[in-house]
């Protein structure tokens, strides 16, 4: 390599000397000046070649640096690509787990649906039995009425016979045979009366037994209906969880589709201004007089924990945690508490006082009753 450079420089110097000599001799026709010009041209040519060589080395070094930077960027991009591929695999595994969980929930919903159908069948059967017992009770009551009428007739006949017997006491000696017949008839009537009273006692015992059986059946029916409501509540919760799973799956898919082009963004929460309007507090007696009678009746029928729920909804920005805590303390669900308050409001006021919330939105007081509810809470809280 070094010998090639030396040969190139010698060749370049020779060419430069020859060209310079030739041109100088052609111009001046003086061989001395031509040789001098050739000798001057040789170092100038070498200097130019050195400058060009230095410039080429600088360009080569610059290109090598750019190549190194490109290699580093390529390595970084390959690392980032590997990370994205592993992230996509994790998301795919999460989606597969979500699908399997969804299938399990669907099977549970199907099992609960079958159990609900069985309970409905049992409920219909018990209702039919209760109706049959009611008809039997009606028939027994009719029979009892008939026996009572017959008993009254017998008593009336017995009284008539006793009166007739008293009238004929003066004729005992003449009408001994008739007396014996009458006494026998009276004995028969008394025997029939005793039999009727015994039968009446038996019927009353049977009626009492039937009433007890009907009460037991009513209790069983109420228990079955309560169990049915619990199952329906469980089904609603399972449906809500299934919807949440679907939302999560959709969110995961959206993130997976947006991942190659997404730049991490964060949205800062906005400040919420709260304005409190202060007003002089009225005495509780005056506030009760200001409330309509149906609202006073409504608030008095609420339990203490239901008033606490109204207070939490009226005063807290996000009362979901408070409502859940109250529901757990009373062994029930938040949705059932909201429905209970609305049911009392519908029965007394004729309108709903709360708007039920959802998984992402807590329940709120209807706009037309906000001021009224706050006034009630000032009075009774």
Kindly give the confidence (pLDDT) of every residue in the chain, 381 residues in length, as a single tens digit, with 9 standing for 90 and above: 556 666 776 777 777 777 777 777 677 776 777 677 667 777 777 777 777 778 778 888 888 888 888 888 889 888 888 888 888 888 888 888 888 887 887 887 788 777 777 877 877 787 887 788 778 778 877 877 787 887 787 777 777 777 877 887 787 788 778 778 877 877 776 788 777 677 777 767 766 676 676 666 556 656 656 765 675 576 567 556 655 645 554 454 455 445 444 434 443 433 433 333 333 344 444 445 567 788 888 888 889 999 999 899 988 888 888 989 999 998 888 889 899 999 999 998 888 888 887 767 888 899 888 888 888 888 766
The length of the chain is: 381
97-169+179-257 has which CATH code?
Answer: 1.10.287.1700
**pLDDT tens profile 54-76:** 877 888 888 888 888 888 888 98
* Helix 370-380 / helix 304-315 crossing angle, nearest 10 deg: 130
Global pTM value: 0.29
Q: How far apart are CA 324 and CA 304, in angstroms?
A: 15
- Token code pair at residue 289: 């007089």
Q: How far apart are CA 325 and CA 318, in angstroms?
A: 13
Within the chain, what is the greatest distance between any pair of CA atoms? 208
Architecture of the domain spanning 284-380: Orthogonal Bundle (1.10)
**pLDDT tens profile 284-329:** 444 455 677 888 888 888 899 999 998 999 888 888 889 899 999 9
Q: How far apart are CA 147 and CA 201, in angstroms?
A: 11
The candidate with the shortest Cα–Cα distance to 16, out of 40, 50, 52, 51, is 40
> Three-class SS string for 318-370?
CCHHHHHHHHHHCCCCHHHHHHHHHHHHHHHCCCCCEECCCCCCCCEECHHHH
Beta bridge partners of 354: 365
- Token code pair at residue 202: 């038996």
By DSSP bridging, strand 354-355 and strand 364-365 are: antiparallel
Q: What per-residue confidence (pLDDT) applies to 282? A: 42
Residue-range domain boundaries for the chain = 2-84, 97-169+179-257, 284-380
CA angle at residue 41 from 36 to 45, to 5 degrees? 160
């Amino acid at each position: 390599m070094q010998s090639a450079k030396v040969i190139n420089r010698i060749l370049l110097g020779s060419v430069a000397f020859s060209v310079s000599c030739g041109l100088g001799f052609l111009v001046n026709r003086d061989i001395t000046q031509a040789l001098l010009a050739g000798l001057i041209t040789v170092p100038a040519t070498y200097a130019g070649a050195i400058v060009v060589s230095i410039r080429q080395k600088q360009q080569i070094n610059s290109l090598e640096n750019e190549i190194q930077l490109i290699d580093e960027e390529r390595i970084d991009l390959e690392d980032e690509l590997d990370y994205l591929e592993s992230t996509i695999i994790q998301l795919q595994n999460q989606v597969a787990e979500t699908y399997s969980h969804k299938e399990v929930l669907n099977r549970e919903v199907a099992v609960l649906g079958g159990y609900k159908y069985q309970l409905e069948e049992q409920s219909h059967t018990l209702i039919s039995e209760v109706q049959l017992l009611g008809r039997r009770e009606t028939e027994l009551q009719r029979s009892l009425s008939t026996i009572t009428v017959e008993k009254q007739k017998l008593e009336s006949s017995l009284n008539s016979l006793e009166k007739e017997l008293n009238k004929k006491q003066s004729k005992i000696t003449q009408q001994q045979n008739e007396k014996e017949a009458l006494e026998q008839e009276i004995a028969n009537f008394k025997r029939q009366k005793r039999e009727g009273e015994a039968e009446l006692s038996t019927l009353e015992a049977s009626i009492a037994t039937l009433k007890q059986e009907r009460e037991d059946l009513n209790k069983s029916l109420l228990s079955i209906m309560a169990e049915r409501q619990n199952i329906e509540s469980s089904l609603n919760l399972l449906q809500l969880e299934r919807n949440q799973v679907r939302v999560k799956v959709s969110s995961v898919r959206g993130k997976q589709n947006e991942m190659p082009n997404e730049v991490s963004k964060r949205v800062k929460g906005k400040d919420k201004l709260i304005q409190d309007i202060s007003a002089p507090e009225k005495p509780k007696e005056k506030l009760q007089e200001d409330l309509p009678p149906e609202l006073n009746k409504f608030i008095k029928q609420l339990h203490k924990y239901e008033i606490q729920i109204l207070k939490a909804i009226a005063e807290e920005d996000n009362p979901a945690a408070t409502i859940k805590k109250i529901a757990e303390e009373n062994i029930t669900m938040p949705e059932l508490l909201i429905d209970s308050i609305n049911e009392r409001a519908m029965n007394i006021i004729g309108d709903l006082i709360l708007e039920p919330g959802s998984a992402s939105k807590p329940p709120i007081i209807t706009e037309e009753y906000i001021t009224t509810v706050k006034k009630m809470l000032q009075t009774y809280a």
